[in-house]
Amino acid sequence: MKLAVVVQRYGADINGGAELHARYVAEHLARHAQVTVLTTCARDYVTWHDEYPAGVEHVNGVPVHRFPVDHERDVKTFARWSDHVFEHRHSYLDELKWLHAEGPKSSALVNHIVANRRTYDFFFFFSYRYYHAFHGARAVPERAILVPTAERDEAIGLGMTPPLFRGVRALMYNSPEERRMIQAASQNEDVPGVVVGIGSEIPAQGEASADRFRQKFGITGRFALYLGRIDRNKGCNELFTFFLRALPALPKGLGLVLVGKEILPIPDHPRIRHLGFLYDQDKYDALAAADLLVMPSYYESLSMVALEAWALGKPVLVNGKCEVLRGQCIRSKAGLYYETQAEFVETLRAIADWRSLNAALGRNGQQFFNQHYAWPVIEQKYLDMLARLKEADRANGESTKMEAEPGFLARRRKTLRPAAEVLSELPSGPVLN
């Protein structure tokens, strides 16, 4: 079986959620099928500047075919279009302009998909909101499997996305919340879909060493760990505010250790320590040494670091305003959530102070990870979906259901509601059943 994984960026040194997700899936499916990655030459997710050379290279044994982007992103233009389509009544054409402004627009990539539609049995398109997924999936709908990685942001309320969700062959959801949101937005219940998520390259038991981490970085006390980009979009500013305000009430000596690229200025305080980017070994050592993982992000379709923490038996404390994270905590029984300063203090104290709770949450997390996110489980879900689609193809032949795009006049008519308005009507909150 030949599979193509189509994603906006790809590389061993790219740690963005969807991109890492795509890499893990490609590398694991490569054990069962012939996998090729189709992507752009971009490395920076803000500018989409071509940094990798165009052509084919191998990353961890998987062939990667890179295509140049047509143009870099103009941030101001993108912001203007975003404001227009998210907040105002607009036309289908406006949304297409927004999509092009967002990038990474790579006509070469889409042309390659169209030209090689028969080469691959299925295309896995990652991230519904990008150019390659929208146009790529529309080009080969009968073979398109979408991994939407949808977050609860305005893009889900755009008028051009429901036909996409209804038109692909299958969807691989990251969480029940994501599935509910997409189904509510597009009424695509009849499209095959499964909640899969993603596994992680967890070290074997005993390989992650807390002592090694403490020796290497000179951290002796207890600490809560944040892993990821230190960015306002990830809720880090709120985390800093909450943590600094909570200091007098926090358990004695409990610090905050940050691991990741610094985009937001980090407060200069003796109990906050920034270690910068860490390689996997150090990252897992840090998790082993931490009392808990903090995940302050408002928007996540699936938190891989939370899964990694659970895999290592560590509880997590997440932002309760992110319904996915909150739902994960409730379903896994492996973490608490906060929405206010007071809740942050109390939940942090509960996890850090109450050792039995900490241990119980950690155990539950480990169990949850093994049941749902261990690689054999994930791989099997992908293989089952591929087998199901193959079976359907054999029975019914390839069917194309993608709705046609509006005509010349219709796409110019300002009939689409503001995306934010649509989003506000979608169901929210964690899915508990």
Q: Which residues bind other proteins (CB under 8 A)?
A: 329-330, 333-337, 342-343, 346-347, 349-350, 353-354, 356-357, 359-361, 364
Report in angstroms how near the CB of residue 161 gets to other proteins at its nearest.
Answer: 24
Q: Which is nearer to other proteins, 184 or 357 (CB)?
A: 357
Report in angstroms how near the CB of residue 364 gets to other proteins at its nearest.
Answer: 6
Q: How far is CA 410 from CA 233, 235, 305, in A?
A: 35, 40, 44
The whole-angstrom separation of Cα 95 and Cα 18 is 22
Report in angstroms how near the CB of residue 330 gets to other proteins at its nearest.
Answer: 5
Strand residue runs (E) in 189-254? 193-195, 223-227
Q: Which is nearer to other proteins, 427 or 429 (CB)?
A: 429
Angle between helices 355-372 and 323-332 (to 10 degrees): 100
Which H/E stretch holds residue 55? Answer: strand 55-59
Both tokens assigned to 39: 């992507």
Q: Which is nearer to other proteins, 210 or 360 (CB)?
A: 360
Q: How many CA atoms lie within 13 A of 290 on its CB side?
A: 33
Report in angstroms how near the CB of residue 154 gets to other proteins at its nearest.
Answer: 17
The whole-angstrom separation of Cα 184 and Cα 249 is 42
Q: Which is nearer to other proteins, 98 or 337 (CB)?
A: 337
Q: Which is nearer to other proteins, 147 or 312 (CB)?
A: 312
The whole-angstrom separation of Cα 394 and Cα 59 is 33
Q: Which is nearer to other proteins, 222 or 349 (CB)?
A: 349
Q: Which is nearer to other proteins, 150 or 317 (CB)?
A: 317
The whole-angstrom separation of Cα 118 and Cα 112 is 11
Q: Which of 133, 189, 129 is nearest to 6 (CA)?
A: 133
**Other Cβ atoms within 10 Å of 270 Cβ, number:** 6
Q: Which of 54, 56, 140, 162 is nearest to 104 (CA)?
A: 54
Report in angstroms how near the CB of residue 298 gets to other proteins at its nearest.
Answer: 18
Report in angstroms how near the CB of residue 334 gets to other proteins at its nearest.
Answer: 8
Report in angstroms how near the CB of residue 348 gets to other proteins at its nearest.
Answer: 10
One-letter amino acid of 400: T
Report in angstroms how near the CB of residue 252 gets to other proteins at its nearest.
Answer: 12
Q: What is the side-by-side order of every strand in the sheet holding 292-295?
A: 272-274, 255-259, 223-227, 292-295, 316-319, 335-338
Q: Which is nearer to other proteins, 127 or 364 (CB)?
A: 364
Residue position matching structure tokens 């964690």:
430
Report in angstroms how near the CB of residue 329 gets to other proteins at its nearest.
Answer: 6
What radius of gyration do the chain's Cα atoms show?
Answer: 22
**Other Cβ atoms within 10 Å of 429 Cβ, number:** 10
Q: Which is nearer to other proteins, 126 or 337 (CB)?
A: 337
One-letter amino acid of 15: N
Report in angstroms how near the CB of residue 392 gets to other proteins at its nearest.
Answer: 39
* Complete DSSP assignment for 88-117: S-B-HHHHHHHHHHHS---HHHHHHHHHTT
Q: Which is nearer to other proteins, 277 or 354 (CB)?
A: 354
What is the β-pairing status of strands 122-126 and 144-147?
A: parallel
